[in-house]
């Protein structure tokens, strides 16, 4: 759980004591908790609260959990929110029916607080990742629409626009292939781990704890892998957006280099490693400032990331009448000469090095 975002869990149960037990366990783990004591109240409040996960009791007077779930799934404003059913430990029919009506998981009552928190955290994380991926796709679609609009408006630059469109199409295809390839394995690992967690309660205590810890570690590691992919995609979209839309402007190359280099050094906790020489750069020049900033951030961050922690990263800037030159010198492993031809290919994976500096 991060300090920046606390997922909200909505508990629906007609037994107040059950709500209190679940809410205490979840709040202790950093979740925000809201609740309702009837199906009708839940249907009224959930669209307003917009929780990340819903814990829904099966057996309730009036409207039972299955009916509530069916109505939630028919409402497009809340249909995507994952529903975890709370059911009796020996009620296999309810478990099956819960999945049929749209539930993603179940917790048997009386529930174990650790198991409850683990399952809620897993589905809250998966829902967040799905939202992030949807947002990235929306940005990508906006970029495509923007490109199409520019081609229509700038007929005098048709050839240049066509080349940009071709490049963007290649990037889109590569991005789709990347998402399909890179996300499939961690998603499979996460799903299999979640499936295994459903049966953890059948084990004795020590084995159950060992299994849950192992599965939690697997899920966390694979979520981290997916987040790194999302960060890379976001960086690519940012750079491509700047490349397409930005116009030359008067800016300070020296200030940009200083700001970016210090930001990257701070990000990797290596302020003492930075050796910065930008006195020869002009204080004002007409440049594509955002392109310049993003390119610098990518290269300098890479130097800090892949060089030994105690080594120097030297950033030196020089200029002549028509150009700027920025040299980033580090003690990282470098690039295999055989792979240099792929430096400007979309999403080309290089060979991994066994250790920094090798």
Long-range contacts of 97-106 (CB under 8 A, 24+ apart): 97/66, 98/58, 98/65, 98/66, 98/69, 101/66, 101/69, 101/70, 101/73, 102/69, 102/70, 102/72, 102/73, 103/56, 103/69, 105/194, 105/198, 106/198
Question: The pTM is what?
Answer: 0.40
- Which positions of the chain have pLDDT values less than 50? 1-2, 353-358
* Nearest residue to 133 (alpha-carbon basis) of 6, 230, 239, 224: 230
Which tens digits make up the pLDDT trace of 83-118? Answer: 999 887 666 777 788 888 888 988 888 888 888 999
Q: Distance between CA 230 and CA 15 in Å, rounded?
A: 41
- Whole-number pLDDT of residue 350: 58
Q: Distances from the Cα of 76 to the Cαs of 17, 167, 274, in angstroms?
A: 31, 36, 51
Handedness of CA 240, 245, 248, 249 (dihedral sign): negative
Q: What kind and span of H or E run contains 326?
A: strand 324-329
Q: Domain 249-339: give its CATH code.
A: 3.30.565.10
159 class by beta-carbon count within 10 Å (0-12 exposed, 13-18 middle, 19+ buried): exposed
Which tens digits make up the pLDDT trace of 265-309? Answer: 999 999 999 999 998 998 898 888 888 888 899 899 989 988 998
Q: Which CATH number fits domain 8-111: 1.10.760.10, 3.30.1490.100, 2.40.50.140, 3.40.50.2300?
A: 3.40.50.2300
- Whole-number pLDDT of residue 321: 83
- Whole-number pLDDT of residue 335: 75
* Nearest residue to 257 (alpha-carbon basis) of 229, 283, 233: 283
């Amino acid at each position: 759980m991060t300090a920046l975002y606390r997922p909200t869990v909505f508990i629906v149960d007609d037994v107040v004591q059950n709500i209190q037990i679940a809410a205490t366990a979840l709040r202790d783990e950093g979740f925000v908790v809201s609740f309702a004591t009837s199906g009708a109240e839940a249907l009224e409040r959930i669209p307003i609260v917009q929780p990340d996960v819903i814990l829904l009791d099966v057996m309730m007077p009036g409207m039972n959990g299955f009916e509530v779930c069916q109505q939630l799934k028919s409402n497009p404003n809340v249909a995507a929110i994952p529903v975890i059913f709370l059911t009796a430990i020996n009620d296999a029919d309810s478990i099956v029916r819960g999945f049929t009506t749209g539930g993603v998981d179940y917790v048997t009552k009386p529930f174990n607080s650790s198991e409850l928190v683990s399952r809620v955290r897993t589905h809250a994380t998966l829902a967040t990742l799905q939202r992030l991926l949807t947002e990235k796709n929306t940005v990508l679609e906006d970029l495509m629409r923007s490109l199409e609009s520019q081609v229509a408006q700038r007929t005098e630059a048709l050839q240049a626009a066509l080349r940009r469109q071709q490049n963007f199409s290649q990037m889109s295809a590569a991005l789709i292939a990347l998402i399909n390839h890179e996300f499939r394995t961690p998603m499979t690992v996460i799903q299999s781990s979640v499936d295994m967690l459903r049966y953890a309660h059948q084990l004795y205590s020590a084995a159950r704890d060992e299994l849950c810890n192992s599965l939690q570690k697997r899920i966390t590691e694979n979520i981290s892998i997916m987040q790194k992919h999302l960060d890379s995609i976001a960086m690519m979209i940012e750079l491509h957006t700047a490349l397409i839309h930005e116009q030359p402007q008067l800016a300070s190359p020296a200030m940009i280099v200083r700001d970016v280099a210090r930001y990257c050094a701070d990000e990797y906790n290596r302020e003492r490693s930075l050796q910065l020489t930008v006195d020869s750069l002009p204080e004002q020049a007409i440049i594509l400032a955002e392109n310049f900033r993003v390119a610098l951030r990518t290269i300098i961050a890479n130097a800090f990331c892949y060089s030994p922690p105690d080594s120097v990263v030297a950033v030196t800037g020089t200029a002549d009448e028509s150009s700027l030159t920025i040299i980033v010198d580090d003690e990282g492993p470098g690039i295999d000469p055989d792979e240099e031809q792929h430096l400007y290919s979309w999403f080309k994976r290089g060979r991994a090095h066994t250790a920094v500096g090798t």
